[in-house]
Structure 1
Amino acid sequence: MDRRSVYGPRDSTVLSQQAQHRSDDIPDGDLDAVLISRRADGNFWSYFNQNNMFERVQEILHQIGFYGVYRCGRLQLNQHLITALVERWRSETHTFHFRVGEATITLQDVQIIWALPIDGEPVTGIDFDRTTQQWQEYCLTYIGFSPDANVLKGSRLQTSAITSHLAAVEITYNTPQAVVVQYARAVALLLFGGLMCPDSSGNYVSLLYLSKLEDIETARNYSWGSAVLAFLYRELCNAGTKGKVAIGGALQLLQVKLT
């Protein structure tokens, strides 16, 4: 008997991409290819686990809709579990195929676990063709500091530069509101780009997300939860392909939901 008929789908009319799926290597004994779980929030939690976030900043996070993510904190990921789940994820159906049936993570799960807004405008953006100096000026305007050129890579900024800035700013009851808002934007950027939608780099966040945080008053009008779920689905589909070594996305949600 062909072992692939045991480990693979019995009917390939629906699961038609088995030949490109990472689970296709299981019959050959390739069981040690553990995926690297990428995230860019380590420095963030190292700082805020030792220093309380001032309540004025927390209020703005609540206003944006990110406070639930902050309150949940950092969860240590089990990379073997994540890899096993990816081996059962099928991009044809966007579900995990278990022996007991299919399962998936839904928009309702995102809302319940992280309390993210799921109604409103889509989180979309344009990849602005800005120079390094223009990105520095943009950062100075919206997150309160101008990063060095060596921590910028196109429209992406190293997370350590943002965390260093946060550590250098002291927020008190007397701090001007404009400074508090800039500080909160930097925190929100790290939470979204480092934990909710981290890419495969592991240490950069996209400054394009800032365009949706420019106006704090309207930031909650976006469906952040939908963006997080769509990003996670895309990462699961990419990581399920043969030869992939890393996965990004909101893997913390995945681990909480399916354990």
Structure 2
Amino acid sequence: MIPVTRELVTGIKLTNYKDFIVEHLEDCPKEDKLSRLKHIWSMPKFGQLPKKPTKLKLLEHTRAYLLYLVSTTIFVDASQRSTLISYLQLLRDLDEAGKYAWGAVALAFLYRSLSKVADRESHFSGLATLL
């Protein structure tokens, strides 16, 4: 069960995506537009945990996996095949990540998507299971 009544899910506007990605995942794709992290880059890089990982490697792989999981469950947008880097802010401190109201933000994302569909602005995005 994902929590609905906990800390508000917010973030700050990032100005330097490359440095932010390197700080939290150690590596960064060689692309110009880094506001989204493509799954085609992250899956081969973080899909398999190295043998005898250091604590830092374990944290980086865990962040990458959770970032992928969040983008394919709560903030689903099948047309993108990528994840907004801004979500990585929520996974900096894994102890803190569990304190967020993920359920509330999932519903807000779903309602916003439904609003866009009703206004014929966009296709459906969001966790259809909640619908």
Task: Give me the CA root mean square deviation.
Answer: 2.0
Name the TM-score, length of structure 2 as normaliser. Answer: 0.86
Provide the C-alpha distance between the structure 1 equivalents of 2:24 and 2:62, rounded to a whole number of angstroms: 10
**Identity %, equivalent residues:** 27
Per the alignment, residue 204 of structure 1 pairs with 82
Pairing 1:147–2:33 present: no
Per the alignment, residue 2 of structure 2 pairs with 116
Q: Tell me the secondary structure at the aligned position of residue 162 of structure 1.
A: helix
Report how far residue 221 of structure 1 moved: 1.0
2:113–2:126 contact (8 Å) kept in structure 1? yes
2:38–2:83 contact (8 Å) kept in structure 1? yes
What amino acid maps onto 1:136 in structure 2? K
Alignment size in residue pairs: 131
1:215-254 to 2 correspondences below 5 Å: 215-241=93-119, 243-244=120-121, 246-254=123-131
- Residues 187, 247 of structure 1: alpha-carbon distance in 2 compared, 3 angstrom cutoff: same
1:54-75 per-position Cα deviation (integer Å, ceiling 9, x unaligned): xxxxxxxxxxxxxxxxxxxxxx
2:116–2:123 contact (8 Å) kept in structure 1? no
Q: Which structure has the larger Rg? A: 1
In the alignment, structure 1 segments of 5+ residues that lack a partner are 1-114, 255-259
Per the alignment, residue 49 of structure 2 pairs with 170
Report how far residue 217 of structure 1 moved: 1.8
In the alignment, structure 2 segments of 5+ residues that lack a partner are none
Provide the C-alpha distance between the structure 2 equivalents of 1:171 and 1:225, rounded to a whole number of angstroms: 32
Report how far residue 211 of structure 1 moved: 1.0
Provide the C-alpha distance between the structure 2 equivalents of 1:126 and 1:200, rounded to a whole number of angstroms: 25
Q: Tell me the secondary structure at the aligned position of residue 250 of structure 1.
A: coil
What amino acid maps onto 1:253 in structure 2? L
